[in-house]
Structure 1
Amino acid sequence: MRKLLALKVDVDTWRGTREGVLPLVNLFNKHGAGATFLFSLGPDHTGRAIKRVFRPGFLSKVSRTSVVEHYGVKTLLYGTLLPGPDIGKREAGLLRQVRNGGFETGIHTWDHIAWQDNVVNKGNEWTTRQMQKAFDRYQEVFGEPPKTHGAAGWQMNEHAYALEKQMGMDYASDGRGSEAFLPCDATGRVIGVPQIPTNLPTLDELIGLNGIEAGNVHETVLACTEKPLPHGHVYTLHSELEGMKLLDVLERLILGWKAQGYELVSTRTLFEQLDVQSLPRLRVGMGEIPGRSGQVAVAFAT
């Protein structure tokens, strides 16, 4: 059995696109690693996340992970005191450069903050409008339709799962979990494309807890990958974190994973290994995971 570990890159902001993506590309090329880059394609409205201060656990997470340091003061004003730059329009050439360099690309979102803060409680019309904007922009930038999607903030609703299938996507990586599955509604009906969830903890979920800091966080993550999974591990990283201040942490992880015998690949590589017909059918919903404020998309037994 091949030991596979997929690198999934969430690109949330304009700064993360401009400053964090190419260092990741260079690092992956240096180590012969594959990866999937999921891009935010519309306006950067990061500043509107200020409303999250009222969520339980949010302020403690901010204090642990130095949001200002990683995202920058200017980014934290976009959509409030400063207009939100249109990422897909401004950085189309850079996005194509990643694809042309041999990396898989897909949709993260149209407006990251709008999706992350609203999609769970929105209906089909709002969800369709957001996803169609991202779909159209992706096709405009790359000259072809997107084939994968990874939800911003791991936030989803049943309409979004269904739209991925309607839009012709092959698979998605929208939530958190331990194994690949087919997403179902409460009746057990399959409603979307195969899901390959993130199973490994992210750096911002670990740093600042239980004596874990940037200098040793890789040890905790590597302990989680000592044993391979049948469908492979999935690690989600962020261009704003691992692509910038925490690039050295990512390199330690890559070296550690290679020492453990893993092939570092795109999520598509994991998808291509699947026997889709034999995947478990799991009900999708929202639930809590350690280290993260609020709820994220998860799967439950039907």
Structure 2
Amino acid sequence: MARIALKIDVDTLRGTREGVPRLQALLQRVGAGATFLFSLGPDHTGRAILRVFRPGFLSKVARTSVVEHYGVRTLLYGSLLPGPDIGKREASTLRAVRDAGFEVGVHCWDHIDWQDHLTQRDAAWTLRQMARAVERHTQIFGSAPRLHGAAGWQFNAAAAQAETTLGIALASDTRGEGPFIPVADDGRVIGPPQFPTTLPTLDELIGIDGLDAQNVHAHLLGLTAASDRDQVYTLHAELEGMKLMPVFERLLQGWHAQGHQLVTLGDLAAAVDRSTLPRHRLRQGEVAGRSGLLAVQGAAWTPAGAAA
């Protein structure tokens, strides 16, 4: 069967403090590998209210019970309440994950700032944001990160180049079909290998086509049944680590029953010959169930410049 890399995005103080230890305990109990990607600076979740003007945002909020999952206090951080510094407050929680044998990496410095502003900012801003997160990671763990996964799948060529500048060796910033090397239109490599999220997330599925917390796991298991294709599944400490943990437990049980290996992104990368990875452009595209545009795996690049 296939390998399924579990990529855990940690967006908020509450997700770090409450969701991360619960996920750590569950994964240890079932013997699953996973990669935790941490938000390392201020929690400004309350500023996400500006997304009300983004197409599809209100329908997603209605489907996924944002207040229930994130809590009222979290939704006030950065607006009516000051944004707490996640990395400073929860450094011991982060180190406990590493010490338990899980892979750790950078999600972002300020989740809201990155997710809502990256595409409007220049390359210098992008590098500064990523450098702050890399510095904090180094302070907490005593070593520089080798892995990055962009907040909200907001990513572009400037961010890929910043990863190279900062020594990131492996990334999962995009949505796509399989591993690839990101390149410019002229075929020039602009960043480390990408291992994109290949499976839909719970918050993209729940509330669509009759799917709910009781049956959404069966839908996802249907996508991986009798498949030998490696996958990347992104989950969130604020969702699968809290109210949706029973759904995630059923997914883990199902994937084990299907014979899949549950691994880290690093494990997935180690099983791939990077010299054979295809080259793809980055592009902005829509993903069903999620509002706005995300970074997606674009057309394949060939020496002749033709799209495959």
Same fold (TM over 0.5): yes
Q: Which residue of 1 aligns with 2:146?
A: 147
For each residue in 1:100-137, what CA deviation from the matched residue of structure 2 results, as whole angstroms up to 9, or x when unmatched?
Answer: 00000000000000000011121111101100100000
Question: Residue 250 in 1 paired to residue 248 in 2?
Answer: yes
For each residue in 1:163-195, what CA deviation from the matched residue of structure 2 results, as whole angstroms up to 9, or x when unmatched?
Answer: 111211221000100110000112221100000
The Cα of 1:72 is off from its aligned counterpart by 0.3
For each residue in 1:17-57, what CA deviation from the matched residue of structure 2 results, as whole angstroms up to 9, or x when unmatched?
Answer: 00100110011011100000000000000000000000111
Structure 2 unmatched ranges of 5 or more:
302-308
Q: Which residue of 1 aligns with 2:157?
A: 158
Q: Which residue of 1 aligns with 2:136?
A: 137
Q: What amino acid is aligned across from residue 289 of structure 2 in structure 1?
A: G
More displaced, 185-194 or 126-135? 185-194
Count of residues in correspondence between the two structures: 300
**Residue pair 1:4, 1:228 contacting (<8 A) in 2 also:** no
Q: Which residue of 2 aligns with 1:177?
A: 176
**Secondary structure of 2:51's match?**
helix
| Aligned-partner Cα distance in 2 for 1:287–1:167 | 26
**Residue pair 2:134, 2:144 contacting (<8 A) in 1 also:** yes
Q: What amino acid is aligned across from residue 210 of structure 1 in structure 2?
A: D
**Secondary structure of 1:222's match?**
helix
Superposed CA RMSD in Å reads 0.8
The Cα of 1:229 is off from its aligned counterpart by 4.6
Structure 1 segments of 4 or more deviating over 6 A? Answer: none
| Aligned-partner Cα distance in 2 for 1:269–1:121 | 34
1:8-27 matched pairs, under 5 angstroms: 8-27=7-26
Q: Which residue of 1 aligns with 2:71?
A: 72
Q: Which residue of 2 aligns with 1:83?
A: 82
Q: What amino acid is aligned across from residue 243 of structure 2 in structure 1?
A: K
| Aligned-partner Cα distance in 2 for 1:195–1:50 | 30
**Secondary structure of 2:138's match?**
helix
Q: Percent identity?
A: 60
Structure 1 unmatched ranges of 5 or more:
none
Question: Residue 214 in 1 paired to residue 238 in 2?
Answer: no
Q: Which residue of 2 aligns with 1:194?
A: 193
Q: What amino acid is aligned across from residue 244 of structure 1 in structure 2?
A: M
Q: What amino acid is aligned across from residue 132 of structure 1 in structure 2?
A: A
Q: Which residue of 2 aligns with 1:3?
A: 2
| Aligned-partner Cα distance in 2 for 1:226–1:268 | 23
Question: Residue 278 in 1 paired to residue 273 in 2?
Answer: no
| Aligned-partner Cα distance in 2 for 1:221–1:186 | 34
Q: What amino acid is aligned across from residue 144 of structure 1 in structure 2?
A: S
| Aligned-partner Cα distance in 2 for 1:96–1:203 | 27
For each residue in 1:70-123, what CA deviation from the matched residue of structure 2 results, as whole angstroms up to 9, or x when unmatched?
Answer: 000000000000000000000001100000000000000000000000111211
TM-score, normalised on structure 2? 0.96
Q: Which residue of 2 aligns with 1:289?
A: 287
**Secondary structure of 1:125's match?**
helix
For each residue in 1:134-179, what CA deviation from the matched residue of structure 2 results, as whole angstroms up to 9, or x when unmatched?
Answer: 0000000000000000000000121110111121122100010011
TM-score, normalised on structure 1? 0.98
Q: Which residue of 2 aligns with 1:108?
A: 107
| Aligned-partner Cα distance in 2 for 1:155–1:261 | 33
**Secondary structure of 1:83's match?**
coil
